[in-house]
Each structure stands twice: as structure tokens, then as C-alpha cells.
Structure 1
Amino acid sequence: MNLTISPCPNDTFAYHALVHGLVSGAPQVTAHYADVDVTNNLALTADLDVVKVSYAALPWLLDRYQLLPCGGALGRGCGPLVVTASEVTSLEGLRVAVPGDRTTAYLLMRLWAASGGGTPASVEVVPFAAIMPAVAAGRYDAGLVIHEARFTFERHGLRALVDLGEWWERDTGLPIPLGAILMRRGFGERDRVAGWVRASVEAAFRDPAASQNYVLAHAQEMEPAVVAQHIALYVNDFTLDLGAEGYGAVEALLGRAAKEGLVPALPAGALS
């Protein structure tokens, strides 16, 4: 089985057991690592058995893939931020760097902008690790940041214009759907594959120390304290099972985005 995930601590923590052959009954796994903007586009054409993508990319992918009910990133207090180097009150007329054009972060930013956050003059896709330095250097007026950047943006002399997760939760009362796990249609039986993924997450919770070396090896020079914060924020009960609340959050995000004309509408039952 090929498994395509990000090198971020939440993914390596959750998938350590599966990647290392520690899940009973699971096949041998070949792991590939790429930023989520890469996987969003790679999933369109490559034959990926199990892949991590943005929930915002689902409308373009569910003809080839099924959503698994576990293994992803969804929660509260974990949303993306729009950061700036100067005191501005909206995105109106700004040059904005974003981590991907089909990321949940960008979709949330567009929904917030449509609700009164202002219309940027331009938007450019930039690797997420390069966004904060570029904004601090003045190459962009604002940056949309994800992952561990919510813990470190102030070190770059930046301020938060808006916490899009707080805005979403306040507006909807729902958690934020960030990263989804998809299985290629025809690869196998959905519940069985989901069982392997869930077992890997359960193993991570039982013995958090077991994955430490693996996580740090892929953590892109992140400080151990930031790694721990990252895992605590993005790996939670929703990683074990989306449940009714998780599915409701996904439907709300993509339904609202479809009404705004930002994504294609999903057909009934597409998430099941």
C-alpha cells in the first residue's frame, strides 16, 4: 500500500505504527511525504492508495477517492491565521501569499473575505515555510499561515489580522475541517482500510514516545516544544473518528463554499 502524507508532526505521529509495520493485518506500507498543496494536485492524476489532502479539495477528488472517517485533522482552536507586518484592518487591496489554492486555509480566507474581510489586490501561492519570512521582508502585505506558524509568527515581527479558525467557530459553532484522508476507489474495502488507519492512531495515543525519533526526523528543524504543541492541536478525537459533528462540519464548509461559487457542489451522499 502506498501512503502519501505530509512530513508534519501530526501525520508522522498518527501514522508511525502503520508505516513501521506495527498494525496487525495491515499490508506493507511505502510512505511518501509532501506538503498538502502538492498532494491536493497529485491526487488528481496519480494512483495514490491512501492520501492526505485538504478538505477544500474534496469536490475535485471524490469521483476517484472515498473519504475515510478517521486519520485526518479537524478540531477547534487550530485554524489558519492571516498575518501582516503592519496594522491593517482588512485584506482590501493587499498582496497576499497563500500556501495553496485548494487548501482549506485559502477557502476559509475567501469565505471570510466574502463576509466583509476585504478583497485582495493579488494572491500568490508560496510554500508555507516561506510565507512568514516573505511577509516580514515586505514582499507581500499579508500571509495566510498554517501548521506550526500559529505558534511562531510573532518571532518574525508579525501580527494576526484574523484567526480564521476562531471566525469559523464563532460563525458556525462547528470545528474546522482541515486535512482529510482519502482512499482510492477500487483499492480495497473502505472499513478495512479505515480500521488500519484508526489502529495506527490508537497506537500513537497509547505510546506517544514510540514515534518520537520518526516525528523529529521529519519535523523540518522544528523545536521539540513546538512539535508537541502541533501534535496536541491537530491529533484528537476527530482523528479517531469524524463522527456526526465532524461530517457536519465538512458539509457546512463545502456547502457554504458552493453557495459562494468557490467550489463545485457535492452530490448527495458523496462523503459516505
Structure 2
Amino acid sequence: MTDRLKIAYSPCPNDTFVFHAWAHDTVPGAPPIDVTFADIDVTNGMAERGEFDVLKVSYAVLPWVLEEYALLPCGGALGRGCGPLVLTRGEGSAADLAGKTIAVPSERSTAYLLFRLWAATEIPGGVGEVKVLPFDEIMPAVRDGEVDAGLVIHEARFTFQNYGLHCLADMGEHWESTTGLPIPLGAIIAKRSLGAERLRELSDAIRTSVRMAWDDPAASRPYVLAHAQEMNPAVADQHIGLYVNEFTADLGEDGYAAVRGLLTRAAAEGLVPPLGPDALNPG
């Protein structure tokens, strides 16, 4: 009997939509998996400790984990018009955040990396304290005055108005306007020790799972909503529509260019270690 692979991804609609078919053993020929749900800050830590066979992580964590893990060319989250937002209680300018406290979902998140690249040119002197919170706690913390601003991801793009909050800046708009590339957010990685053939099998399984979800969206709906933390079904649909796209099926040239561009720029600013020339190759 084939050993079951250990995989961890978030309970967010895009991940449960993408992995529904594989998680329910309906992808023909796919290796069986045991799923653990975890927030992105947790999975980033798992990757740094070498835990689990397959993980959904932030692209920002890749420079620390690519010796042990390979980037898979599918299953992740890239796109346009889907970047993290900086939210505040009232209107203002980026300069108003100088010395202030901002909540972020993870210090190794792509969102935070994009924020740091933006802040380097927009916030004189930089922010003050950076506070890591689970992403679903960030908007309440901003609303209640526990922090001065919040960096939000996922469905917060559709719901921040419900908290009476203001979008001070869109990190995705800044990235796209300065690079012309899609926004790299979440990556799927797998242990290199599994071997090149197994890594290709995993990529095939993910692509098939994505296509099955697109072909029959209703099949995954109960699974998606069961893990969506009481999210409005319409918001879940918006979430999937934004984050599951052609880059989920295959990174392609633009996808890889976006990943290299993000990590190269971040390394030039001293924010992450530099990547080797073959670091993104699966072999």
C-alpha cells in the first residue's frame, strides 16, 4: 500500500476548491494524501522546519526552504488585481504610518514582503511596531484601535467595508504598476527527497484537481463552505474567482518571471537571501 503523503494548506476557499478532488481521492492515479488545515504563518514555519511532504506557503519564504523543497508549477495563487491591502480606520496618506503599529499575517508572508518593498519608498523612516496576527483577526484589531493599520489578504478585499475601514494602499497595484507582472502570493512546494518522478506526479494530480473543480464547481462547494469560517457563500465565490486562475493550473513564463522578480527585488533590498540560479527548478 502506498504511504499517504502529508499535505498542509489553508481552509480558505481557493485552497479547498483547488484540492477538493485530490483530498477526496477522486483524481485518477493520484497518490493518497492526509490533509492538515493551517494558516499561512503556520505552514511557513512548517516548511522552515521541514515538516510535511507538500505545503501551501508564501512565495516570500522560498529563499529559506528551497534547498529541501521544490516549487511545484501549479496549485498556488498568483494573479492580477488581487494584492494585499493596507487598511486604516480613516483616510490618510502612507506617510501617516511612520512610526505606527501595523498588523500583518506573517513576517515571512508575501504580503509583508510586498508591503516592505512599498514602504521603502512611501513611508519615510518606516513603520514602528509590526504585530503578527491571524489574518481573520487583523480587521477587528484595526477597527478596535488595537493597531494603527492592518495588512490584509484573502477575502478581506471584499469585506473590509463591513468593518468601517479605509483602504490606504493596494500592494498589488503598486507591484503591477512598477513591474507589469502578476502578483505572486502563495506557492505549492514538495519535498525534493520524493524524487523527480513523484514531483511530476504531484503536479499532474494538482492540475487534474484544478480542472475537475472548474468542470464541476458544485462538487466542491460543501467542502469549501465547511471550512470557510462562516464566510458568505457569495464572498467565497468571489474569492475563488480571484485567486484560482490560469496561473493556478500552470505558472507559465509570466508566473515564473513574477516569482523571480519578487525575490530578486527583495534580495536586492536585503529582505531575503539571494536565490541560486537553479533554485526554482523542480529537479
Aligned with residue 131 of structure 1, among 138, 142, 153: 138
- Paired position in structure 2 for 1:149: 156
Per-residue deviation, 1:2: 1.4
Per-residue deviation, 1:211: 0.3
- Paired position in structure 1 for 2:109: 103
Q: Distance in 1 between matches of 2:91 and 2:17?
A: 37
Deviation by residue 1:212-261 (Cα, 9 ceiling, x = unmatched):
00000000000000000000000000000000000000000000000000
Deviation by residue 1:31-90 (Cα, 9 ceiling, x = unmatched):
110011100011112431111000000000101100000000000010000000022211
Q: Distance in 2 between matches of 1:38 and 1:166?
A: 27
Q: Which runs of 5+ in 2 are unaligned?
A: none
Per-residue deviation, 1:117: 3.2
Deviation by residue 1:84-131 (Cα, 9 ceiling, x = unmatched):
002221121211011100000000000000122341111110111111
- Paired position in structure 1 for 2:217: 208
Amino acid at match of 1:36: I
Q: Distance in 2 between matches of 1:5 and 1:127?
A: 15
- Paired position in structure 1 for 2:118: 112
- Within a 5 Å distance, the mapping from 1:163-174 to structure 2 comes to 163-174=170-181
Task: Say whether residues 1:35 and 2:39 are aligned partners.
Answer: yes
Q: Which runs of 5+ in 1 are unaligned?
A: none
- Paired position in structure 2 for 1:264: 273
- Within a 5 Å distance, the mapping from 1:18-29 to structure 2 comes to 18-29=22-33
Amino acid at match of 1:58: L
- Structure 2 SS opposite 1:186: helix
- Paired position in structure 2 for 1:246: 255
TM-score, length-scaled by structure 2: 0.94
Deviation by residue 1:8-43 (Cα, 9 ceiling, x = unmatched):
000000000000001111122111100111000111
Task: Say whether residues 1:176 and 2:183 are aligned partners.
Answer: yes
Amino acid at match of 2:274: A
- Structure 2 SS opposite 1:77: coil
Task: Say whether residues 1:44 and 2:53 are aligned partners.
Answer: no
> After TM superposition, what 4+ stretches of structure 1 lie above 3 angstroms from structure 2?
none
Give the aligned length. Answer: 272
Larger CA deviation: 151-160 vs 115-124:
115-124
Q: Distance in 2 between matches of 1:141 and 1:148?
A: 20
Q: Distance in 2 between matches of 1:46 and 1:109?
A: 27
- Paired position in structure 1 for 2:8: 4
Alignment check: 8 A CA contact 1:47 1:184 kept: no
- Paired position in structure 1 for 2:206: 197
Amino acid at match of 1:96: I
TM-score, length-scaled by structure 1: 0.98
Amino acid at match of 2:9: I
Q: Distance in 1 between matches of 2:225 and 2:59?
A: 26
- Structure 1 SS opposite 2:30: coil
Amino acid at match of 1:18: W
Larger CA deviation: 114-123 vs 19-28:
114-123
Alignment check: 8 A CA contact 2:30 2:201 kept: no
- Structure 1 SS opposite 2:56: strand
